[in-house]
Structure 1
């Protein structure tokens, strides 16, 4: 029973870490999969296989080397000097992404709940600080609440779409984009999200004694991400091409289901942002702890202050430069992870 709970905690944390704001709003699904029409089904299946394989392998490798943070994993894959440099680059991108997520949380409070933007920021920061005190257990417990709710909402969206006139459109939807782009897209999507998720998956792997729990958690987590991708793609395809005009396409679909479902959806968007934000700040804290010998909570507070300050000015221009570079790095990183030959099974 205890092992089953651990498996589900790993799976839910995996899903919750990958499912950030871009995923929740539907923009990532639209840009990486649905725009490629009927090819979206096959490319989502490919992406799911990569999430299952590489996510599980990452956690097992972290367990094998007893990684203190994702930097230890990168050193193992790339060597001391290159691993340290790439981890620093990942750190900058993570802080940038977290700043954007924090700004997104403020926007949710302002636009959908009628509260002040700064109120949204401070609520997010305070609850993040409180949860970080619980360490990796707090991160996993949070996702054990948020992710089941997200899965239930995905099922509601699937059932609603199944009775709509455009339900079968995901099988016939045509696209003008090149076929090569359709097949590169899931590679980019999986690699990028996995390289970002290493901040959380590495400490999960190193803190989990049972090899079997990691394998089962990785398989269920990767499959869960694939299920949510497919649910979103199914709903978005049924509303193509008109859905493209919306900044939050999944929000438009939720609106069709009534006020109650829309309110639940808005709260879930915030919870998805919040759970990813907490997990990333925790991962960044672990990496900085290897260099800065002060209490971890002091590091976390400093990271939160940096995220708060940068969320006031906007990080979009910097991220527009960093994202493509980080995307290429992610592909190389995922290839190195996939090609790495582990010493073999250790423990149960």
Structure 2
């Protein structure tokens, strides 16, 4: 019984971490933009982000478990009422569709830039992999994250050990910044808002499957602290190389080069794996949402979503990322405000 509960706790933690740790996180760009560029404030704002991930991640899954939500629309209706909940879910659907297209484009870019395989071929390989894995439903998401997340954690530990052996390892404590302190303290809310609103697509059905509240709470704590640990490790490593590291498209890749070619190859593969985990999680959430409305078979809906994302990914990774993410961040901030305001009374009743 204890082993079974421990297994479920680890499943929740790894799925939570794998869903949040997407392409922007793994490359180091998100950490740089939301935390490191603000200098020593970054450490404190990472602590705030970690708190938000623990608190609101568990809140989402507990409510989903209590109401036995079939999709994130059920959660939004329970949180914000029938009418507003439906509108928020429509927004989330559009956002998730856009993020999925960005993730697919990112996967194609990795094939082209790192493995000398054409962008189109990379897209098709990723799509086929997604389709066959998603036929297994939630099991596939749990399985992929159970493999990818521990490896990502191990790599993060290697990076942090190497950083502490580098001159200037303590720069994250004293690093100055010209950016506004208000922007620095707004960043963790924006970061948590975007990632939490995106992760509800998989965390809601996961929470709904688990009846044990303690398992959900402990899993959320572990997952939130794991996200915080990886944020802090990345921030410490990037701070050593500031401000020069800002010129790299993949900042963490530049740091990984110092650990040798084999580590760099593993890291590039990990970036792809992190994109892939986010991709299948998003498609799974979108499929459940549409299936509840249309009553079509899951495989048909998955195919339609993949085809749409394939067409959207023709725009390219860079243009999609720079255009869509700022809009999504602002919309998600409104969602974060509403979920923070919402009392847990209804779910505990």
**C-alpha distance in 1, partners of 2:298/2:290?**
9
Structure 1 residues 250 and 319: CA distance shift in structure 2, 3 A: closer
- Structure 2: gaps of 5 or more residues: none
Structure 1 equivalent of residue 34 of structure 2: 32
Count of matched residue positions in the alignment of Structure 1 and Structure 2: 347
Q: Which range is displaced more, 294-303 or 114-123?
A: 114-123
- Mapping of residues 38-77 of structure 1, within 5 Å: 38-77=40-79
**C-alpha distance in 2, partners of 1:190/1:154?**
20
Contact 1:96 1:315 in 2 (8 A): no
Q: Which range is displaced more, 30-39 or 207-216?
A: 207-216
Q: Which range is displaced more, 37-46 or 82-91?
A: 82-91
Structure 2 equivalent of residue 163 of structure 1: 165
Structure 1 equivalent of residue 143 of structure 2: 141
TM-score by length of 2: 0.96
- Mapping of residues 1-348 of structure 1, within 5 Å: 1-314=3-316, 320=322, 322-343=324-345
**C-alpha distance in 2, partners of 1:108/1:257?**
20
Structure 1 residues 325 and 81: CA distance shift in structure 2, 3 A: farther
Contact 2:105 2:317 in 1 (8 A): no
- Structure 1: gaps of 5 or more residues: none
Contact 1:289 1:296 in 2 (8 A): yes
**C-alpha distance in 1, partners of 2:131/2:137?**
10
**C-alpha distance in 2, partners of 1:65/1:312?**
39
Contact 2:102 2:321 in 1 (8 A): no
TM-score by length of 1: 0.96
Q: Which range is displaced more, 245-254 or 314-323?
A: 314-323
Contact 1:139 1:278 in 2 (8 A): yes
**C-alpha distance in 2, partners of 1:213/1:344?**
20
Report the 3-state secondary structure (helix = DSSP H, G, I; strand = E; otherwise coil) of the residue aligned with 1:93: helix
Question: Cα deviation per residue 1:246-284 (whole Å; 9 max; x = unaligned)?
Answer: 111001000111000000000000000001000000000
CA RMSD of aligned residues (A): 1.6
Report the 3-state secondary structure (helix = DSSP H, G, I; strand = E; otherwise coil) of the residue aligned with 1:290: helix
